[in-house]
Amino acid sequence: MSSYLKRGLMTAAVVTVVYVIGASLVNRGLCSYYGFQTDRHVRYAAFVGCMVQTPAGWVPRSELRVVQ
């Protein structure tokens, strides 16, 4: 492989990792802010998203209307 291709692949990998970490931090912050606004207990699950505690257990925020 040429050195330009290696540099390009490494740069793409680093940009991807930085984007994934940044998006995760933003999503965690938004989930925490939702809990603050609604005065509910929330937590962030990596592949599910924002989880809200209900009497039935932890439910994804997107499915909260179905449970209520």
Q: What is the DSSP string of 25-61?
A: HHHHHHHHHHHHHHT--EEEETTTEEEEEETTEEEEG
Looking at residue 62, its pLDDT comes to: 86
Query: Residue 66 — very low, low, confident or very high, per pLDDT cuts 50/70/90?
Result: low
Locate the domains of the chain by residue range.
3-67
pTM over 0.75: no
pLDDT in tens, 11-63: 999 999 999 999 999 999 999 999 999 999 999 998 889 999 998 899 999 88
Mark 27-38 as b/e (b = at least 16 C-beta within 10 Å). Answer: eeeebeeebeee
Q: Name the residue with tokens 């925020």.
A: 61
